[in-house]
């Protein structure tokens, strides 16, 4: 909770893993995995057409002037 309070107050964490490691374990337990289970890294390939598509604010239905 201390690290979350630091972030909410606008401070930066020297070691982000102090916050993310416990959160990762909590998420694993929530999904029914072993708390200490290793996470498999995956590689995501992005096609050139996806890289060229940029978000346009005017396409956003919630965009307001």
Model confidence over 13-47: pLDDT tens digits? 888 888 888 888 889 999 898 988 887 888 988 88
Give the structural domain span for 33: 12-47
With respect to residue 53, please indicate whether it lies within any of the assigned structural domains.
Answer: no
**Dihedral in degrees, nearest 10, Cα atoms 3, 15, 46, 28:** -60
- pLDDT, one tens digit per residue, over 49-61 is 655 555 555 566 6
- The pLDDT assigned to 16 comes to 86
- The pLDDT assigned to 51 comes to 52
With respect to residue 19, please indicate whether it lies within any of the assigned structural domains.
Answer: yes
pLDDT of 5 over the 80 cut: yes
Query: How many domains in the chain?
Result: 1
Distances 49 to 8, 17, 20, 46, 59 between C-alpha atoms, Å? 37, 34, 32, 8, 18
With respect to residue 59, please indicate whether it lies within any of the assigned structural domains.
Answer: no
With respect to residue 37, please indicate whether it lies within any of the assigned structural domains.
Answer: yes
With respect to residue 2, please indicate whether it lies within any of the assigned structural domains.
Answer: no
Q: Given the structure tokens 């919630």, which residue do they identify?
A: 62
- The pLDDT assigned to 48 comes to 76
CB 24 within 8 A of CB 31: no
């Amino acid at each position: 909770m201390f690290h979350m309070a630091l972030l909410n107050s606008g401070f930066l964490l020297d070691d982000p893993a102090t916050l993310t490691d416990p959160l990762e374990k909590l998420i694993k337990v929530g999904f029914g995995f072993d708390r200490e289970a290793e996470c498999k890294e995956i590689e995501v390939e992005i096609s050139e057409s996806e890289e060229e598509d940029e978000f346009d604010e005017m396409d956003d239905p919630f965009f307001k002037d």
